[in-house]
Chains A and B, each alone.
Chain A
Amino acid sequence: MNLRLISFGNSTIGLRYDDGRPTEMVDFLFQNITGSNYEEPWTTLRLEDHGGDEGFWLWQDDTLLFKEESFEIMANSLMSQVCFTLAYESKAGLLLHSAAVRTEEKGILLPGRSGAGKSTLTAWLIHHGFGYLSDEMVFVASGSDQFRGFTRPITIKSPARHLLPQLLKKERLVNGILQSESLDMVAPEQFGVQVVKNLSSIDLIIFPHFEASQGVQLARLSKAEAAFELMKCLANARNLEDHGLSEAVRLAKTTPGYSLGYGDSAQAERAIRQLVMI
């Protein structure tokens, strides 16, 4: 069985997987994510392919988590489980539910909980020239003014699929796109984009919230409002001294924060580009 270490946010897990389809799945999901050779994994996930009706089995240590026939659904479940498991033991910094992109000059956090439109907006932005860091989670080490993104494939849920028709009319795993009924997972390289695996500066924090048929509503947040919003997006608060409050406050004090309501990704892009110019 193969073993891959996956590290993020001072948390390392092991992932064991069979040859064949599990290897194809793991290579697709984690091609841009490295593991630390210096940290012991605190737990190990194991992906088995039993074929036929039995399909894929995903274990965490000795516990069977999921059985699933569908390659695409298991790929999504595996990615979700890896994110959850990394966050569970993440420490010494803020692990945020946040997308992240950057221009040449500026790194931009896009924090938001599920449904805020992070992934769709990220896909739009990188399709239009922004560098890609993550569509789901970022880590800011304590005391640092830089962050790292979890550079997974971009996950577009079916309600937003119509926004990217030219990109998603591809077959399964052809050209790095994995399609299922409920979502599409797209390798960021598909957008012809630069994947930023290094640390990036934190220059803007923009909290997006998608609402169909609304125009762009951009508002500068006070420091307290930004810190409050950051706390709502924190995924590892239980592992942090004072539940991460002092670090969220530090970040909000040093980085301008904005609320961005939008119903159209092109309008949101224009608003973000204006902020980048400031």
Chain B
Amino acid sequence: MKMNLLAKPVQKPDYHLEMMDGEMLLYHLNETTILYLNETASLIWQLCDGRQTIAEIITLLSEAYPEAAEVMAAEVEETVQQFLTAGCILIT
């Protein structure tokens, strides 16, 4: 299913974060679920603040990492979809 790039992803509360060398473990204490996020996924997670659209996240990261700009849209969409599947974000 095509993702709506104007949607604004927002983190759900109650997640405990452990940052290690730019990567992240995302842990929900009540649901006892844990996610490993690589560096890019960690950045995407931090940008899921409910204010920025998916398109804006793609633009931000493409500007920050121009060498990966060509694949950034697909990577952001895929990661946001993984967050949705894991239940750790909402789309507004």
Give chain A's interface residues, CB within 8 Å of chain B: 222-225, 227-228, 231, 237-238, 242-243, 245-246, 249, 252-253
B51 at the A/B interface (Cβ < 8 Å)?
A: no
Partner of A243, one of B20, B21, B29, B37: B29
Q: Is the Cβ of A224 less than 8 Å from the Cβ of B21?
A: yes
Q: Which residues of B are found within 8 Å of A253, using beta-carbon distances?
A: 20
Q: A245 CA to B24 CA in the complex, in Å?
A: 12
Q: A116 CA to B27 CA in the complex, in Å?
A: 24
Q: A15 CA to B25 CA in the complex, in Å?
A: 40
- 14 more A-B residue pairs beyond the given contacts A222-B20, A228-B36, A243-B32, with a C-beta to C-beta distance below 8 A: A223-B20, A223-B23, A224-B18, A224-B24, A224-B25, A224-B36, A224-B38, A227-B25, A228-B34, A231-B34, A242-B16, A243-B29, A245-B25, A252-B20
Closest chain B CB from A165 CB (angstroms): 39
Q: A252 CA to B20 CA in the complex, in Å?
A: 10
Interface residue tally of chain B, by bracket?
A: 10 to 19
Closest chain A CB from B40 CB (angstroms): 13
Closest chain B CB from A56 CB (angstroms): 36
Which B-chain residue is minimally distant from A223 (CB atoms)?
A: B20
Closest chain B CB from A244 CB (angstroms): 10
Q: A224 CA to B25 CA in the complex, in Å?
A: 6
Q: A124 CA to B90 CA in the complex, in Å?
A: 49
Q: Is the Cβ of A243 less than 8 Å from the Cβ of B36?
A: no
Q: A238 CA to B29 CA in the complex, in Å?
A: 10
Partner of B16, one of A224, A228, A245: A245
Q: A83 CA to B4 CA in the complex, in Å?
A: 49
Q: Is the Cβ of B34 less than 8 Å from the Cβ of A223?
A: no
Q: Is the Cβ of A245 less than 8 Å from the Cβ of B21?
A: no
Q: Is the Cβ of B21 less than 8 Å from the Cβ of A249?
A: no
Q: Is the Cβ of A249 less than 8 Å from the Cβ of B34?
A: no
Which A-chain residue is minimally distant from B32 (CB atoms)?
A: A243
- Say whether, besides A227-B18, A231-B34, A243 and B27 are in contact (CB < 8 Å): yes
